[in-house]
Structures are given as C-alpha cells and as structure tokens.
Amino acid sequence: MAEPISRAEVEATARLARILLSEEEIAGFTSQLGSILAYMETLNELDTTDVEPLAHVLPLKNVLRPDEVRPSIGADLAVREAPDATNGFFRVPKVLGEGGGA
Amino acid sequence: MTLPPGVKATLVVGLEIHVQLRTATKLFCGCEVRFGAPPNSLTCPVCLGHPGTLPVMNREALRCAVKTAMALGCRVLPRTKWDRKSYWYPDLPKNYQISQYDLPVGLEGAIEIPRGDGTAKTVRIRRVHLEEDAGKNLHDDPEVTLVDLNRTGTPLLEIVTEPDIASAEEAGALARELQRIVRYMGVADADMQKGHMRFEPNINCIIEKDGAEARTPIVEVKNLNSFKALEAAVAFEFERQAAAYLADPAYTIERCGKENRGWDDAALRTLVQRHKEEAHEYRYFPDPDLVPYEWTAEELGELAREAPELPQARRRRLARELGIGEGDALLIVEDRATGDLFEAAVAAGTCPKTLAKHFINIWTRLANDAGVAIAGLGLGAGALAELARIQADGTVSATAAQQIAEAMAKSPEPPRALAARMGLLQLSDRAAILPFVKDAIAANAKAAADYRAGGKKSAKSLGFLQGQAMRLSGGRANPAVIAALLKEELGPPAG
Ligand SMILES: [Zn+2]
C-alpha cells in the first residue's frame, strides 16, 4: 500500500492552517497522520452503497430560534479579554490584503 | 472596444451577489442587526467566536432565503445543512465562516432581465445559499488593524449565476432587477449606501483570431458595492483582458488559471490581489454545531403562497391589460408601493395611458426632486386618477396638468378644484372658442389666404393661426376644438 499521506500533503496542510512546522515535526506528523489514516482505512472495508452520508451524529433536525433581539454584552465586555483594544475596537497586527471577503 | 481587423472578443460574466436579509437579529445569535452602532456594541459570545458557544439558526433568515430561492425559480432542496469554510482574517474570529456547501437552500433557477423594449434576457441561477457576514477591518492606521464585529454574523444570501451575462449593461440590469425582486418580496432593504448588496463578477473573454479560439483567465473582482462600480469593473476587465491577450497570447485560462482582482473606485480600474484559494482549500466540512433542516411540503407550500407578484410579471400584466408599453411599465413597477399606487389609481377610474404618462413625466420628476419614490409623495390614488381623467377628457391641457401636479404636491385640494382656482380649466365649448378663431383670422388675413391657397405653406399657416387663436384665449382653449373650428371657418384649401 502507498503511503497514506505524503510529506508534500503535510506541508500543504500546515500552510493552510497557517502553522510553521520544523523539519522534525514534518517528518513526525507525516508518520503519525499516516498511521491514523491507515487505521481509518479499515472503515473502507464496509459496504456503504445504500447508506446516506451523515451530516450530523445527533438524531436532531430543524432547530430554529425566533428572530427576536436579545441583549448583546456591550463593547466594553466584548473587548475586555482581548490582548489589545482601543476605543471599543479590537486592535490586531496589520492585516495584509482586504480580508472581509466573506 | 477597438480590436484589430479579424479579431472578435466575446465577454463571459457570471455574478456572485451577496444580499443582506432584513432580519431583526443575526443569523446564529440574538444580537441586533443595525448599521452605524458604536464598534462592537452589537456582539455576544456567539458572534465573537468564543469557544464553547452554540449557534442557533434564525428562523426568519431561513424563510427569507427559501422565499427568494422560490422567486428565482430555484429547486428548493428538501434538506439543507450548514458547513464551515476556512477563513483567515480577524473580522470573523472563529477562523471559519458558517456557509452552505453541498446542500444549499436552492439550485438551478433563472432570472429575467428586462431590456426596456418588451424583450427580456434570461440568466440561469446556479445556486442560492445562506451564510454569515464578516465584520469590518479598519485599515486607517498604518501600523495596526482595528476590528469591529458588529456586522459579524449578519445573514447574507449568496446568489450565484451561471456565466450567461454578455455585457456590463446586462450585469447592471441583473443587479437592479434582483434589487427590485428582494424589495418586492420584503426580504431585504437592499440599500446600496449601507452595503446591503455586494457583487463579485467572474469575468473572462473568448477571443477569436486567425480562425482559432482562446479564453482569457477568469478574473474575480472582489466586493463591488454599487451598480456603477459593477458595470465599470466588467467593462474595464473586458478591455484589459482582450488587450492583455493580444499583447501576449500566453494570457489564457490554461496558462494562468484564475485571478483575483480588487476595484479602485477612484481610478476606475481593477488591481491584482491575492491568489484565489482552490475550492477544496477552503476545507468545507459539515458544522457539528448546527443540525440540518428538513422542509415539509406544507411549509414550502405556505411560503410559496406568501410570494407577491414579482416586478417582471407585473410589467407583463400592465402591458397586456392596460396597453402600457413595457418600457413605461418598467418605471411604474420600480418599487412595489408605487406600483400599488398606480393600480389603485387605475381602479379608481381613469385613463390608464394618461396616468402612465403622468407617472413617467410628472410624478417621477417631482418624486426625484423630493428625494422619495412616487408612493412617498403622500398623494392619494383618487387624486392621481382625477388629474389623469380631467386631462384625458379635455378639461385641462397637458401643460396645465403639470402645473396642477406641482400644486397638488403642496395642497390637499383635489385637482379639479385646483384647476379652477388656478384658472387652468380648458375651454372646450365651441361657442366660447369661436370668437377667438374669428378674431385670429381677421387679424391675419395673409395667413388665412396662404392656407386657402393650399400647397406647401398651407399646414404652416394653419399652425400659425391656431397659435394666434390660442394666444387670444389666454392659453385656455382646447387645441383640438380650435383646429376644428379654424378648418370650418376657413373652408378647404385649394388643390
Ligand atoms: Zn451575537
């Protein structure tokens, strides 16, 4: 069987997660993630042809709330635990690019 | 656009449109949605993205989303669910945006864009889904970014079209029609000044040259927030991409893939931005905090029955039932309240065509001057109907109707009473008008002779005499009666 995850895939995943890994960590994660994925492969032995994909583990659906305003906590409390704040704004390192592209 | 001989460029545009829904609260928490509140005053642990909090779906937002999907002719999925989409900016502090990936609210619809001449262009809708908005990053300070999370979690409807749009004008017309539709439905205010509608066109060109066909890279222009910017950005990209390909034939989708560009509203041009993440790099996965929603047929039937008649259907009906041109109907149905006012005036009994002319030529101008829609002028349907009626039956002239309309905007008096008080009642009585006609002929013997002689000068002379008789009447005589009397008095021209 081929390696479940390649070194390049671990590097790409780290880049997407915006984390910096050392050479040793990349090697370590490649082997650790590899054994986890190999273990998960066991599941593929099951025949799931007629099974609906599961979106949620709870047997719940249709949970809604009415569109009624509830009190917010206020700007002072909102920013109080932040590492840095000014005039009710969160103050963060300079964002490069636009952001807000939701 | 000027292209070298033998070169043909075709524009291909698809639109992603974000519409802010009109709800009292955010999508997943009870914080109020309000524009212009002090920074971070409308926040709570859920929209601040604190660990251990639980989002709960806003019922009204979901209903608005489904109603809009239905209005756009989409297939509403019987089961819809929420997914997380990776996000790396501080204006959504969870590090992901709650959106919908594989089971959106609706799929495969269409929107008709009126061209103003009675024809329409159909643009297919790919999907309609709900998602939460991000907050605002303020970049004024060169050293730091300030973050306001009041907007974080505001319900947005994302509408994605197929690449069926072929010009900047069509892109603008589609956006405006969508604005009318969501306003008719009452699901959104769609106030451009408040950023309630934002556009992201995907633009490329097909270039035919020397019998070969090439496609330029697809450029996505981010976050346009006015109709003008949307149109200008599409037009700019068309020119830029065609020129870029002609300068370098390697500028193709095969070589360059997709590109993100921003819009500089001052310079009216697009600028290179960060590279687009591939779709799978957003790493969508089902949100374990939110459960799916399954519609019953009863619920969907009830939502469908709540739908009002939409602008395009209303235009068609007015054109068919009242003989009003679709170009005119376009303006009359611009907003729902104005369309309702028009129809109430028609129901009160009037000449619909004259009423339509008043809406287009008089009331629109007065409404624009007052900075409101026609329905916002505060005039009753009965008064509008009466003004059109007294013009149509010759009681007042078209010019007098304009003056009366201006007076109506300031006075509660009915149009006929205003006309009487302002001395604008038109004379239609033949016996009353005859002396003016006789005097005009007597004072202008040469013109009368020219008319009787026939030939080239005849029509001109009649017009002159008509004007003289009108002047003698103080502008009050019915022009049709003057013309008829003149012809009787002068006898038929020679020849
Ligand atoms: Zn909140």
Half-sphere exposure of B450 (CA within 13 A, CB side): 15
Quick check: is B304 in a domain?
Answer: no
A100, pLDDT greater than 60:
no
Answer whether B149's CB lies under 8 Å from B122's CB: no
Q: Judge whether B319 lies within some domain.
A: yes
Nearest to B92 among A61, A86, A102 (CB): A102
Residue A74: closest C-alpha in chain B: B41
Together in a domain, B230 and B150: yes
For B281, which residue in chain A has the nearest alpha carbon? A16
| Number of structural domains chain B divides into | 3
Strands (E), B23-140: 57-58, 75-76, 79-80, 83-86, 96-99, 106-114, 120-132, 136-138
Task: Quote the Cα angle for B70-B71-B72, to 5°.
Answer: 90
Q: Which domains does chain A have, with CATH numbers?
A: 7-44 (1.10.20)
| AA identity, residue B299 | E
Whether residue A69 lies within 8 A of chain B, CB to CB, comes out as yes
Closest of B356, B304, B76, B314 to residue B177, by C-alpha: B314
Tokens 């060109």 correspond to B205
- Rounded distance from Cα B148 to ligand 1 centre (Å): 13
Among B266, B297, B328, where does a domain finish?
B297
pLDDT at B132: 97
Q: Report if residue B80 sits inside a domain.
A: yes
Cβ neighbours around B152 below 10 Å, total: 29
| Out of B38, B136, B144, closest to residue A100 by CB | B136
A102: pLDDT strictly greater than 60: no
Q: How far apart are CA B47 and CA B55, in angstroms?
A: 8
Q: Do B238 and B359 fall into the same domain?
A: no
* pLDDT at residue A2 tops 70: no
Residue B412 lies in a domain: yes
Note down pLDDT in tens along chain B; length 495 residues: 678 888 889 999 999 999 999 999 999 999 999 998 999 999 999 999 999 999 999 999 999 999 999 999 999 999 999 999 988 888 999 989 999 999 999 999 999 998 767 788 999 999 999 999 999 988 888 889 999 999 999 999 999 999 999 999 999 999 999 999 999 999 999 999 999 999 999 999 999 888 889 899 999 998 899 999 999 999 999 999 999 998 888 888 888 888 888 888 888 889 887 655 444 578 888 998 999 999 999 999 999 998 899 998 888 888 888 888 877 888 888 888 889 999 998 888 888 888 998 888 888 888 888 888 888 888 888 888 888 888 888 788 888 888 888 888 888 888 888 888 887 787 777 788 888 888 888 888 888 888 888 777 788 888 898 888 888 888 778 888 888 888 888 888 776
* Residue pair B27/B57 in contact by the 8 Å Cβ criterion: yes
Q: Which residue of B has its CA nearest to A88?
A: B39
In this structure, the answer to whether residues B448 and B351 fall within a common structural domain is no
Query: Three-state SS for B442?
Result: helix
Is B86–A16 a contact, with Cβ atoms under 8 angstroms apart? yes
Interface of A with B in 10-49 (CB under 8 A): 16, 18
Q: Which residues contact B13 (CB under 8 A, 6 or more apart)?
A: B163, B165, B166, B170, B171, B201, B202, B203, B234
Helices (H), chain A: 7-16, 23-41, 75-80
Distance CA B436, CA B469 (A): 5
State the pLDDT at residue B155. 97
Do residues B328 and B463 share a domain?
no
B198 and B282 both lie in a single domain: yes
Quick one: closest CA in A to B131, which residue?
A: A102
Indicate whether B383 and B470 sit together in one domain.
no
Both B151 and B100 in one domain: the answer is: yes
For the domain that residue B462 is a member of, what is the CATH number? 1.10.10.410
The reply to whether B204 and B266 lie within a common domain is: yes
Q: Are B451 and B334 within one domain?
A: no
Question: Do B379 and B261 share a structural domain?
Answer: no
The helix/strand/coil state of B155 is strand
- Output the pTM of the full model: 0.82
Q: Is there a domain that residue B337 lies in?
A: yes
Amino acid at B146: L
Q: Nearest CA to CA, how far is B132 from chain A (Å)?
A: 8
Identify all chain A residues contacting B62, using CB atoms and an 8 Å cutoff. Answer: 64
The answer to whether residue B302 is domain-embedded is no
- Tell me: do B278 and B415 sit in the same domain: no
Same domain, B161 and B41: yes
User: Tell me, what's the pLDDT at A97?
Assistant: 58
Q: Is residue B160 part of a domain?
A: yes
> Residue A64 and residue B57: Cβ atoms within 8 Å?
yes
Q: Which of B297, B327, B358 is the last residue of a domain?
A: B297
Cβ proximity of B342 and B375 under 8 Å: no
Question: What residues contact residue B38 under an 8 Å CB cut-off, 6+ apart?
Answer: A75, A88
In a domain, B103, yes or no: yes
State which of B388, B403, B421 marks the end of a domain.
B421
Residues in contact with A31: Cβ distance below 8 Å, sequence separation at least 6, in sequence order: none
* A82 near B CB under 8 A: no
The answer to whether A89 contacts B146, with C-beta atoms less than 8 Å apart, is: yes
Residue A67 to residue B87, Cβ atoms within 8 A = no
Closest partner residue to B222 among A58, A69, A98, by Cβ?
A: A98
Residue B275: per-residue pLDDT: 54
Q: Is B183 helix (H, G, I), strand (E, B) or coil?
A: helix
Q: Is it the case that residue A57 has pLDDT exceeding 80?
A: no
Containing domain of residue B439, as a range? 430-490
Go through B463-473 and write b for each residue having 16 or more CB atoms within 10 A of its CB, e for each that does not: ebbbebbbebb
CA distances from B44 to B133, B152, B295, B420 (A): 15, 10, 30, 63
